[in-house]
A and B are shown apart, each in its own frame.
Chain A
Amino acid sequence: GQQLNQSPQSMFIQEGEDVSMNCTSSSIFNTWLWYKQDPGEGPVLLIALYKAGELTSNGRLTAQFGITRKDSFLNISASIPSDVGIYFCAGSLNDYKLSFGAGTTVTVRA
């Protein structure tokens, strides 16, 4: 199956800092997605990307779909305490399956 490599695995950041994480894949995807998971909850969709090269924003979040269709990054600007959580990238070729990265755990120092 498709392998997604997500980095960094974890990060500690100061409130107000910008955050960046990325995902690479061994194979191409037609869709890249970024989810956030809070403890004891299911993943919540943050941003969906459908075209190679696409750059999309959602508030303080910005994500890009790499030109090669094998990578994506997520930026969080001016982090706040509620940004704490685990961020997962996910990729899909079709309607039937998402492959997830291993996650980036973000902890914000107040």
Chain B
Amino acid sequence: DAKTTQPPSMDCAEGRAANLPCNHSTISGNEYVYWYRQIHSQGPQYIIHGLKNNETNEMASLIITEDRKSSTLILPHATLRDTAVYYCIVSDGSNDYKLSFGAGTTVTVRA
């Protein structure tokens, strides 16, 4: 019952931007797009979330298409410590508190 689709894996060169795509074609109007990552066996780390406008914080940027059916998480300058599983999750954040962690995208940053 996953609401999002992500590629299973991707590689990125250290120092380059990493662009992680996510499809969420059935997203409803009040649902946000959240991104978390899980670095080997650690707890999921919140990265960023957005509704329809592009968002940027100290960790990443989130680009959401105008129709909101897909989005891209951008890590501007990937480091080896960004190697992790990245999860794209849609949730209305209030009533839909059961975050659904699918398989995510395993990102490997290579030196």
Q: Do A and B associate with each other?
A: no
Residues in chain B within 8 A of chain A (CB atoms): none
Residues in chain A within 8 A of chain B (CB atoms): none
